């Protein structure tokens, strides 16, 4: 199992909407993430800066390479693009984080 952490940027004033959309996450997206081997996925918000911190456990990180081309993932990105920083393809601007400490 590999832990993957990253940061994204939420637009100011969109905190409640971001939470709402994730509370109503689509079943097909949940299925896709699980089928890709993703588990233990959490996203935290730094309310002072609007930064989102995500961490997930991936059983097969190479399977994650398939996600950007999947129609469900593309649809989710299009749905989220109005409330967070995104690239031209609607994928979130995401900065990977290097693990420097872990206490199992």
User: How confident is the model over 27-66, as pLDDT tens digits?
Assistant: 999 999 999 999 999 999 999 999 999 999 999 888 999 9
In this prediction, residue 1 has a pLDDT band, given cuts at 50, 70 and 90, of confident
Residue pLDDT, tens place only, 12-33: 999 999 999 999 999 999 999 9
Q: SS3 sequence, the chain?
A: CEEEEEEEEECCCCHHHHHHHHHCCCHHHHHHHHHCCEEEEEEEEECCCCEEEEEEEECCHHHHHHHHHCHHHHHHHHHHCCCECECCCCCECCEEECCCCCCC
Residue in 11, 22, 70, 87 annotated catalytic: 22
pLDDT digits (tens, 9 = 90+) for 85-101: 999 999 999 999 999 99
Q: Assess whether 22 carries a catalytic annotation.
A: yes
pTM: 0.91
């Amino acid at each position: 199992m590999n832990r993957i952490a990253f940061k994204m940027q939420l637009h100011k004033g969109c905190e409640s909407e971001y939470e709402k959309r994730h509370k109503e996450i689509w079943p097909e997206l949940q299925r896709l993430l699980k089928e890709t081997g993703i588990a233990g996925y959490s996203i935290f918000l730094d309310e002072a800066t609007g930064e989102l911190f995500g961490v997930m456990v991936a059983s097969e990180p190479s399977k994650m390479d398939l996600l950007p081309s999947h129609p469900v993932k593309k649809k989710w990105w299009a749905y989220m693009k109005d409330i967070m920083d995104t690239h031209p393809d609607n994928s979130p601007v995401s900065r990977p984080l290097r693990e420097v400490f872990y206490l199992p």
